[in-house]
Amino acid sequence: MRDTGTHPGVRIAAERDVHEGVDEEEGIVQMVQSSPRASTRRIAKRLRVPHTRGRRTLHPEGMYPYHVQRMQHLGPGDFAQRLEFCKWLNGSRQFHCYILFTEEAQFNRDGVYNTILVWADGNPHATVESNFQLRSSVNVWCAVVDGQLIGPFILEGCLTGEAYLRFLQDELPRIWEDVPLDKRGRMYFQHDGAPPHFSREIRNFLNYRFPG
């Protein structure tokens, strides 16, 4: 409490207990082995060593930082469904060539920024404009089937079920004219569970246009 102002969790307390009475390098290695997600800054804070000491110690040990891959949470009933789907898919090795994978993304005036650095011999008090008072955004739809890119297409206004239905009825047949007819006739339409995708009108149209 005196060190951090908060009560340490079980993991932090365990980390401190493990590394008492060992030298710095051994303590760093032991801490990473017991807490693989510990950052070098956290290691430095817990063991009271310089921040750069962590990387200099771990690299000779063959340990490097890797990004954690996010994956979908699966419930108890999902495994059986996925196994059934895999067995069905195994009967048609070319099935994936007929799936139209689709996605929309929204772009606004703020854009997307990672950390921005400015090198200078003094503080330049650099700024970047964002959080505009007058906001605007645009929805972009794009798809791919068997390696062929379809779109992109600008969806004007808010993405609602009504707007999405108009796009499917009026615009989609025009922008996928380059897709061979035999592929269009056997195509499966994939999209996610966003609210505009799940209205009754959308489902009725897709069930009619892409039966099965």
Residue range 15-34, pLDDT digits in tens: 454 444 457 778 888 877 77
Residue 187 in domain: yes
Same domain, yes or no: 115 and 192: yes
Q: Within this chain, do residues 37 and 105 fall inside the same structural domain, yes or no?
A: no
pLDDT given at position 211? 84
Asked if 57 and 161 sit in the same domain, the reply is no
Dist. CA 14–CA 94, nearest whole Å: 52
Query: What are the phi and psi torsion angles at 47 (to 5°)?
Result: -95, -5
Number of domains in the chain: 2
For the record, the structure tokens of 66 come out as 């890797």
Same domain, 110 and 31: no
Secondary structure element (H or E) that encloses residue 173, with its range: helix 172-175
Whether 125 is in a domain gets the answer yes
Cα–Cα distance for residue pair 95/89, rounded to 1 Å? 7
Q: What is the pTM of this model?
A: 0.53
**Tokens in use for 85?**
């789907």
**Residue 194 to residue 198: CA distance in whole angstroms:** 7
Helix, coil or strand: residue 101: strand
d(CA 206, CA 191): 11
Q: Is residue 88 part of a domain?
A: no
User: Do 199 and 129 share a structural domain?
Assistant: yes
Where residue 167 falls among pLDDT bands split at 50, 70, 90? very high
Q: Is 132 helix (H, G, I), strand (E, B) or coil?
A: coil
Instruction: Identify the domain containing residue 103 by its residue range.
Output: 93-209
